[in-house]
Structure 1
Amino acid sequence: MKKSSMIFFERKFPSANMILIKDQLPILIDTGFGSDVKETEELVRSVGVTPEELHLIVNTHYHSDHVGGNFHFQKNYGVTIAAHKWDANLINTCDPEACSAEWLDQPVEPYQVDTKLSDNDEIHTGSRILRVLHTPGHTLGHISLYEPEEGILICGDLFHKNDIGWLNIFREGVSSIQRSLESLDLLSTLKIQQAYSGHGPKIDNPLDAIDAARERFEKWISMPEKVAWHACKRIFSFTLIIKNGLSKDEVNSYLLKCGWFQDFARNSFQLQPEEFIQILLDEMIRSGAASWRNNHLIASTSYKAPHKDWIDKNIKPNEWGIQDVLK
């Protein structure tokens, strides 16, 4: 029998990375941002797997850059979707909190989770077995996948090669740091040779990356403002990516209507939202996260801007409706 292969796709924002396990039962882990779905399908086809052959899509967590292609593959090809049971319950009831999409102002097209996963579940691909590890922190329903034979870890947004996943204390809880540390402690007990995260390159020294992530989280315990700044810059950068920048004239009004901006301004920095606007803009420029070009604030990271028509659809779970999901 031909040995299976694990294919890593490092992707530009706004899409998260993907992993395709090419085996008797092909598995796709995460599906990128919704506007990139044609590219997502092309990547799958480019390695000799048709969408109809996909046995399962597994989501590491429910953020828009990881689940955006779900709608396309489920509606057009009937692909089964699996996710942690806590994510599944929010998704399947079209809860307004699903995907944190409303709070983050990130569009997600409707889908349903067919298979609810729990810690230590096994996913069989034919010649491989992936162990599901519940690794909350970045989100409550975040999972990692571990393949023990080759020591491969797929860790979503828990940690990256040179960074850690931002923490949403207002939607995922004030204990997110502690949960992240416990998740890292769990992973550090495993024999890991190589890891793939949701963003950035593959991780050739995963235990070193875990130690670095742990050290950073531990520092954050006594420095809560760092948690807030890390999150604000990541969230706002993603906004600038999916909107391909914001003009000076629209930045203020846009920020003031965002749930995340209101929460961080009032609760993390004890400022009125109007006061926090310029402070955030100054920090985006100072840190190099964004820059002004022709009176537009543009994200500094490399990205592929979604088509404006797609973003203008503004699809959110609170608008899905059960009937829309089941069509």
Structure 2
Amino acid sequence: MKTSNIIFFERKFPSANMILIKDQLPILIDTGFGSDTKETEQLMKEAGVSPEELHLIVNTHYHSDHVGGNFHLQKNYGVKIAAHKWDADLINGCDPEACCADWLDQPVEPYRVDKKLKDNDEINTGSKTLKVLHTPGHTLGHISLYEPEEEILISGDLFHKNDIGWLNIFREGVASIQRSIESLDRLSMLRIGQAYSGHGPQIENPLAAIDAARNRYEKWLTMPEKISWHAIKRIFSFTLIIKNGLAKEEIDNYLLKCGWFQDFARYSFKHQPEEFIQILLDEMIRSGAASWHNNHLIAVTLHQAPQKKWMSKNIKPRDWKPQDFLT
């Protein structure tokens, strides 16, 4: 394969992966978690692009691990941000549902979407053109990006090399699984030599990964409880990552305050939330998603916990103010 100026950065949680298009008009696709902005800048500089040179940031979707660096890059360097129009309207309206931040209890610093994208839009990087593909499922405003010359796909969290994006039936709708399948079917029609997803390594055999993802989703159509288990374990693991674990004595009170936990307990698993706490903890341990260390529940997946000082800000879109967007 010829040398590409599409540079892929595989990152540890809580940040999502990042892709830099090093061209006349440099573009950064996704910006990681908010606590990792210094690393985000350093990765770009090591690749030969300084933050002030960025022409545009493109977000595949608005979850905190993909948009967390937006605030820093927009406020300090005036970088424009592009996202699907459905995400953009929620973000720019400071809607409490933006980024699902309240429901997920994940901090996101304020940013503004400058360029609203829709299906089949094109993004010019100088010598390349990225095609915007609306691929809902993981979120309603989820997009993928396709570069036809090198046959490269940037798939966000629709599918990964050995996993699929978790589905939020409470915020994205119960049809999110059908949307995911339709999005995968659309991508399967493309000539794809290489794919980069939001988590995990690059995907050398994208069509095989798409087929595996589709098969898994189709099985879930008849086993909806698996959708919920897949989602809740990933949400709780991410919580344990950004909080650097939870002490045993604080877990009950914390979970009972979370919208995601209440919804999954009551509506997916038909339990009172108080009853479901131990069921979730047992499954986290059984599946290897978490383990106990000195009476603290810790996420097992490779990660680097955010600094307590950064997490103490606890900023959500309901806290955003218009002046936050001034640069």
TM beyond 0.5: yes
Q: Given the alignment of the two structures, is residue 49 of structure 1 paired with residue 49 of structure 2, yes or no?
A: yes
Alignment of 1:232-251 (within 5 A): 232-251=232-251
Aligned to 2:170: 170
Alignment of 1:57-206 (within 5 A): 57-206=57-206
Letter in 2 for 1:232: I
- Aligned residues of 1:4 and 1:127 also touching (Cα < 8 A): no
TM normalised by structure 1 equals 0.98
- Give the secondary structure class of the aligned counterpart of 1:131: strand
CA RMSD of aligned residues (A): 0.8
- Aligned residues of 2:161 and 2:209 also touching (Cα < 8 A): yes
Aligned to 2:298: 298
1:113-151: CA deviations, max 9, x gaps?
A: 000000000000011000000000000000000000111
Structure 1 CA distance for aligned equivalents of residues 80 and 153 of structure 2: 22
Aligned to 1:9: 9
- For residue 231 of structure 1, report the CA deviation from its aligned partner: 0.4
Aligned to 1:261: 261
Aligned to 1:272: 272
- For residue 326 of structure 1, report the CA deviation from its aligned partner: 3.6
- Aligned residues of 2:246 and 2:297 also touching (Cα < 8 A): yes
Q: Given the alignment of the two structures, is residue 285 of structure 1 paired with residue 288 of structure 2, yes or no?
A: no
Structure 1 CA distance for aligned equivalents of residues 15 and 241 of structure 2: 10
Cα 1:160–1:4 shift into 2, 3 Å: closer
Cα 1:300–1:4 shift into 2, 3 Å: closer
Structure 1: unaligned runs, 5 residues or longer: none
Structure 2 CA distance for aligned equivalents of residues 35 and 298 of structure 1: 19
- Give the secondary structure class of the aligned counterpart of 1:15: coil
Moved over 6 A (4+): none
Structure 2 CA distance for aligned equivalents of residues 13 and 269 of structure 1: 27
- For residue 322 of structure 1, report the CA deviation from its aligned partner: 2.4
- Aligned residues of 2:41 and 2:51 also touching (Cα < 8 A): yes
How many residues align? The count is 325
1:212-239: CA deviations, max 9, x gaps?
A: 0000000111101000000000000000
Letter in 2 for 1:150: E
- Give the secondary structure class of the aligned counterpart of 1:8: strand
Cα 1:45–1:305 shift into 2, 3 Å: same
- For residue 4 of structure 1, report the CA deviation from its aligned partner: 6.1
Letter in 2 for 1:256: L
Cα 1:64–1:216 shift into 2, 3 Å: same
TM normalised by structure 2 equals 0.98
- For residue 312 of structure 1, report the CA deviation from its aligned partner: 1.2
Aligned to 1:226: 226
- For residue 323 of structure 1, report the CA deviation from its aligned partner: 3.0
Structure 2 CA distance for aligned equivalents of residues 79 and 275 of structure 1: 47
- For residue 309 of structure 1, report the CA deviation from its aligned partner: 1.0
User: Percent identity over the alignment?
Assistant: 80
Q: Given the alignment of the two structures, is residue 31 of structure 1 paired with residue 61 of structure 2, yes or no?
A: no
Structure 2 CA distance for aligned equivalents of residues 86 and 179 of structure 1: 15
- Aligned residues of 2:184 and 2:214 also touching (Cα < 8 A): yes
Structure 2 CA distance for aligned equivalents of residues 95 and 313 of structure 1: 19
